[in-house]
Homo-oligomer: A and B are copies of this chain.
Amino acid sequence: MINQRETARTKYGQKIADATVGRLSRYYRTLKQLESLGVATVSSDELAKRNNVTSAQVRKDFSFFGAFGRRGLGYNVRDLKHNIAHILGLDLEWHLALVGVGNIGRALLNFRQFQEQNFYFTLLLDSDPRKIGTRFNNLEVKNLDHLAEEITKAHVDIVVISVPVEAAQKVADQLVATGIKAILNFAPTSLHVPSDVVVRNENMVIEIEHLSFALAQTERV
């Protein structure tokens, strides 16, 4: 584990970790599927094929966190799944806050995969007086003005920001001040946070612009 934490501190290591973590998430989902089908062991070839990577990549990813499998015998599906869950922190329960209860926010509240992986919304915040006091999924929308107090009271670990772009940085600053270290950002802007705060951006506009770019290149040939 020391190795892994070391690299996460360096810029180069952070990049490796990011890509590796993303693949571990995908392997984890494959292993869940295999387990539900009653499959007991799986080869690196099979894991590779199902995730559009090479089997060398699969073996490298696992060796990075310690070898879980035995050469020629493949990996035990349940053990591997358990190990990856531990690495990804999925054996712990995480409390989420949602800041900005709009369309995307409400979609996330109903996103069953979050709960299946031990991510639970425990706090909803909004600045709109028409929303404050209303309830979604048994949670009352609280006043964004009381952010620090509510975040502490709800023991929040991870905050989902889905407010308009103009408000996102101010919300991020307030979250940082309360000690939040993990943010999932849906506002289409880059957030500036201290280096000990992790931000992941979900930007659907950027994803769809990758597609229009590819199509425009073809149309203009």
**A→B interface (CB under 8 Å):** 1, 4-5, 8, 18, 21-22, 24-26, 28-29, 50-52, 87-90, 92, 94, 103-104, 106-108, 110-111, 113-114, 117, 119, 157-158, 181-184, 188-190, 192, 198, 200, 202-221
On chain B, the residues within 8 Å of A216 by CB distance are 87-89, 92
SS class of chain A's interface: helix, strand, loop or mixed?
helix
Interface pair A29/B188, CB less than 8 Å apart:
yes
Interface pair A215/B88, CB less than 8 Å apart:
no
Interface pair A215/B94, CB less than 8 Å apart:
yes
**Nearest B residue to A1, CB-CB:** B220
A168 to chain B, nearest CB (A): 12
Interface pair A190/B220, CB less than 8 Å apart:
no
**Nearest B residue to A104, CB-CB:** B107
A69 to chain B, nearest CB (A): 21
| A29 and B203 alpha carbons, distance in the complex (Å) | 12
| A114 and B219 alpha carbons, distance in the complex (Å) | 21
A106 to chain B, nearest CB (A): 7
On chain B, the residues within 8 Å of A220 by CB distance are 1
On chain B, the residues within 8 Å of A204 by CB distance are 108, 111, 113-114, 184, 202
Interface pair B198/A210, CB less than 8 Å apart:
yes
A205-B117, A208-B184 known; A213 vs B110 contact (CB < 8 Å): no
Interface pair B205/A25, CB less than 8 Å apart:
yes
When the two chains form the complex, which single residue of B22, B207, B215 contacts A157, counting CB atoms closer than 8 Å? B215
